[in-house]
Amino acid sequence: MNTATDRSTPDAGAWDHQHVSVNGINMHYVREGDGVPLVLLHGWPEFWWTWHRNIPELASRFDVITPDLRGFGQTEKPPGSALDSYTIDHHAEDLAQLTRALGIERFGLVSHDVGAGVAQAFARKWPERLSGLFFTNCPYPGIGKRWAEAEHISEIWYQTFHQQEWITELLGRDRRNCEIYLSAMLTHWAHDPHAFDDHLAHWVDNFMAPGNLQGGCNWYIAQHESRMALVRDGAPCLPIIDVPTRLLWGGRDPVILSEWADRLGDYFSDFQCEVHDEAGHFVHFEQAADTNRAITDFFSSAKVAARN
């Protein structure tokens, strides 16, 4: 494990930054610790740094790999259309090849938001490669038509906004535009509106880097048709994920509501869900100590350990 202490910024030298070529892209990740492998996947509007309050504690027990997803952070942004290069299958294959490139055949998977979508796609294709799944605030198919209910439609405007061809020109025109957008989203989605005050500059630095705004939007462009299918047709019937699963859900999340966990049993065969009443959308960031304990307990349990 890297024992240096300067971890005040995403690019501080104490973090063990690495890159590997997988699935046609150069993928960035931070790796810390020793033990059973644990991969952490971020959401929107995030990058690997969203886990910086979790990595050191988890790395005392696990081999923690925290990548930037395709299009995000320091990972490469393939040119061309989102539908050609940014589908959920691309993301799942990235994870499959990343772990194999690191010599990891089976691992635990922790994910949030966008990362949770990637994790579910991976689990349906390669369940045998997972010891367990841990989600923080999980968009899953059982939400169905509720995404666009009258009382909720105002919360998902950004998903349509991200389809616009001019979005990166507008948000990336100057630092202040980007800051206003990210700050509004982080403030509204967190239970404590000041949770990101000391970290906003890191978020702006990241998304002002070349290609990062478009890279993040490409996820939403590539996922647009599947989201519309949920709104039109409701929750689909899919094979149940047969991997031990635990969820820690922020009870004050205004965009992925904790009451929407009511259909998890239609999609996961073995799950437990806990709601944290003092967290919003970013429970892993807002309540890091509780999240770290829950992750450690789950992946140290006999049921999960037996799958390693």
Query: For residue range 240-293, what is the model confidence (pLDDT) as tens digits?
Result: 999 999 999 999 999 999 999 999 999 999 999 999 999 999 999 999 999 999
Does 10 map to a domain?
Answer: no
For the chain, count helices (H), then strands (E). 12, 8
Vertex 75 angle, CA 36 and 216, to 5°: 110
Does 128 map to a domain?
Answer: yes
Dist. CA 274–CA 290, nearest whole Å: 11
Does 12 map to a domain?
Answer: no
Vertex 44 angle, CA 224 and 218, to 5°: 40
The residue whose two tokens read 């100590």 is 289
Segment 5-25 shows an average pLDDT of 88
pLDDT exceeds cutoff 70 at 58:
yes
Which residues have C-beta within 8 Å of that of residue 85, sequence separation ≥ 6?
70, 78, 79, 218
Supply the range of the domain harboring residue 158. 17-305
CATH no. for residue 101? Answer: 3.40.50.1820
Does 149 map to a domain?
Answer: yes
Does 11 map to a domain?
Answer: no
Total structural domains in the chain? 1
Does 189 map to a domain?
Answer: yes
Does 217 map to a domain?
Answer: yes
Q: Which pLDDT tens digit goes with each residue over 195-208? A: 999 999 999 999 99
Q: How many CB atoms lie within 10 A of CB 152?
A: 15
Catalytic sites, residue numbers: 113, 220, 281
Does 276 map to a domain?
Answer: yes
> Model-level pTM?
0.96
